[in-house]
Amino acid sequence: MPFYSEKGMDHWHQPRNVGEIPDADGIGEVGNPVCGDMMTFYIKVQDNRIVDIKFKTFGCGAAIAVSSMVSEMAKGKTIEEALKITNELVAQELGGLPPNKMHCSNLGADALHKAIEDYLKKKEQKDAGKV
């Protein structure tokens, strides 16, 4: 049995912010074909701040824990602050992950960043339409 911290186990067994946001401002999806993990993040942005975030993850316990932690770390942050969340920071915040599960942590921040990129692209298109 790989070692998980108490915090990691908590986020695995009681993940926060699970679900989807039907009218999300940004959606980011990533997958790792090696392990079969898939993560989708949904964000709502108001005044340049992530006011709501949800995720759907299909994968192992580490992938679920990582998704939960990323959602907690990003909620309430500005877009710029959320973009500074790295895969390493997520693993640290969880108290570490077993070496064979580190690839899972590489998905969490990537999915968040893709959701932010999606939001920024939509915002740019919307702003361009106003001109």
Structure tokens, 40? 């989708």
Is 35 considered catalytic here? yes
Q: Which residue has 């340049």 as its token pair?
A: 48
Question: Out of 104, 109, 111, 115, which one is annotated catalytic?
Answer: 104
pTM of the model: 0.89
Our CA dihedral for 114, 119, 123, 125, rounded to 10 degrees, sits at 50
For residue range 36-70, list pLDDT tens digits in order.
789 999 999 999 999 999 999 998 888 899 999 99
Q: In what order do the strands lie in the sheet with 49-58?
A: 26-32, 37-46, 49-58
CATH topology of domain 6-125: Sufe protein. Chain: A (3.90.1010)
Ordered by start, the domain boundaries in the chain are 6-125
Is 104 considered catalytic here? yes
For residue range 49-58, list pLDDT tens digits in order.
999 999 999 9
Interatomic CA distance for residues 9 and 24, integer angstroms: 28
Question: Out of 21, 35, 83, 120, which one is annotated catalytic?
Answer: 35
Report yes or no: 31 and 108 within 8 Å, Cβ to Cβ.
no
